[in-house]
Structure 1
Amino acid sequence: MEDISVITAVHHPLRRRIYDYLLLYGTSQVTVVARALDSQVGSISHHLRMLERAGIVERVPEASGDRRTSWWKVARRGLTWSADDYADSPADALLAREAQRQGIRMQIERLQRWHRRRGDPAVAAYDASNTESTAWATPEELRDLSARVLRAVRGWQSSIDEDDGQERTPVFFFAHAFPTEP
């Protein structure tokens, strides 16, 4: 189970964008992240420190020893959790549910932005996938499904040779599995 501080740290809108940026672009200088996210350096630095406290990102020493700027990288890739993990603490459960709502809003907003950009020549070659299924499962089987999907995604990510000269664009994958009715 993730510590609630990790969940709440990464589900702040700007911190999530910082985390996603570092996931995609790797080790980056704080000023580069600020420029890419159209934010102030001071704000980015503050949010990086919040993510650092939660163990999500870490500082990287500048190779030349120049301490006037800071470099950052992702300390861990991905989180798997459920708001139900925090049922023993009403305060943590409330925070987890709000983080879950924030995460779902972010996922839906990304999907809506994709649909608005479909005519954009920069992404026209990409056809967004739509995968869904309905089945019967116990709570343990549902957790197993989540773990299997995460392993499949990580396996797919590690199979990509980013140095093969092909042009790529960032892609976002999300899945939700939950009890339903027909």
Structure 2
Amino acid sequence: MSEEMPTSEVTAPATSIDALRVMAHPARIRLYELLVHHGASTVSELARRSDLAIGSVSYHLSQLHKAGLVMEAAEEGTDRRQHWWKAVPGGLQWSPADFVDSPSHRRVSSLAQQMFSERRMERLTQWLHTWDQWPKEWLNAAVETDTSLELTPDELEEMAAELQSVVRRWSRRTPTGADSSRRRVFTMIHAFPLADDAAADHE
């Protein structure tokens, strides 16, 4: 299993346990998402969009900066009183298998996975509460599907790579021309062995 929080420009991703530890916080996940989605932003803009106090935003940005996940973007503004930040290209990518040998690292990885999953569920819940406010073309285009598959670890890894490749290809696609119907679309894919199968293996 791997986790990924990409940026629009892909370079070397951040993978250190320190970066993961810093990101295992709902406010930092939110601020990082805002920088990815909106590009370089000032502290005051981020505070307004996140409903956080300016002092809190500055603190969380400093932690993200120490972890190599955000950088200052002084070139974006001419007013030196405004402090600009942007996401570091490459995002955050890791596999829990990278940290399985250390109990403390396992705890950090588990907490990060929990935080990211809760954020995904927040988005899904929001969609479920607001779907009827969207035009029919968006309702017809939205996808909700699940299935159970008989896979080996190698097959699951192969399938995951194919799915990630499709998502990355679309995320790198450059829109051509102005289109007023274009909206940001949240994509979530889950694939994992079933817990009851794991229990049966030990009977």
- After TM superposition, the score normalised by the length of structure 2 is 0.77
Q: What is the distance in 2 between the residues matched to 1:37 and 1:163?
A: 30
Q: What is the distance in 2 between the residues matched to 1:64 and 1:118?
A: 38
Q: Are 2:152 and 1:158 aligned?
A: no
Aligned-pair CA distance for 1:125:
4.5
Distance change (3 Å), C-alpha of 1:23 and 1:133: same
Deviations 1:30-73, CA, capped at 9 Å, x for gaps: 11111111111111111111111222111112355543221111
Q: Which residue of 2 aligns with 1:96?
A: 109
Q: What is the distance in 1 between the residues matched to 2:28 and 2:17?
A: 15
Q: What is the distance in 1 between the residues matched to 2:66 and 2:92?
A: 16
Q: Which residue of 1 aligns with 2:138?
A: 126
- Where 2:75 maps in the other structure, the secondary structure is coil
- Where 1:159 maps in the other structure, the secondary structure is coil
Once structures 1 and 2 are overlaid, which stretch shifts more, 145-154 or 15-24? 145-154
- After TM superposition, the score normalised by the length of structure 1 is 0.85
Contact kept in structure 2, 1:62 and 1:70, CA below 8 Å? no
Aligned-pair CA distance for 1:134:
3.0
Q: What is the distance in 1 between the residues matched to 2:166 and 2:91?
A: 13
Q: Which runs of 5+ in 1 are unaligned?
A: none
Q: What is the distance in 1 between the residues matched to 2:46 and 2:177?
A: 23
Q: Which has the higher contact order (CA 8 A, sep 6+)?
A: 2
Distance change (3 Å), C-alpha of 1:57 and 1:144: farther
